[in-house]
């Protein structure tokens, strides 16, 4: 079974991959309406914020998780 930190790293990797795909779609889409443009930009920012929050949580979790050899 994966540790919580490993699971979070997997989730962040998926978010990052989704963000990259959205950016590619955004850059390669011909004519966008203003509404579509705003929606895509908002979704990309949301992915970025979620990824940043997850990384901060991972760092905090890593600081508070004892090593395998540590006493409880």
**One pLDDT digit (tens) per residue for the chain, 72 residues:** 777 888 888 888 888 888 888 888 888 787 778 888 888 888 888 888 888 888 888 888 888 877 655 554
Phi, psi (rounded to 5 degrees) for 7: -65, -45
Q: Which residues lie below 8 Å from residue 58, measured CB to CB, with a gap of 6+?
A: 5, 8, 9, 12
This prediction has a pTM of 0.62
Asked if residue 48 is part of any domain, the answer here is yes
Asked if residue 33 is part of any domain, the answer here is yes
Asked if residue 18 is part of any domain, the answer here is yes
Asked if residue 17 is part of any domain, the answer here is yes
Count of domains forming the chain: 1
Asked if residue 69 is part of any domain, the answer here is no
Asked if residue 58 is part of any domain, the answer here is yes
Asked if residue 19 is part of any domain, the answer here is yes
Asked if residue 72 is part of any domain, the answer here is no
Could you list the residue range(s) of the whole structural domain that residue 33 is in? 4-64
């Amino acid at each position: 079974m994966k540790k919580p930190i490993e699971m979070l790293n997997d989730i962040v990797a998926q978010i990052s991959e989704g963000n990259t795909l959205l950016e590619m779609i955004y850059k390669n889409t011909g004519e966008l309406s203003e509404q579509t443009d705003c929606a895509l930009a908002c979704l990309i920012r949301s992915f970025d914020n979620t990824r940043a929050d997850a990384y901060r949580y991972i760092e905090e979790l890593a600081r508070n998780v004892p090593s395998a050899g540590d006493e409880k």
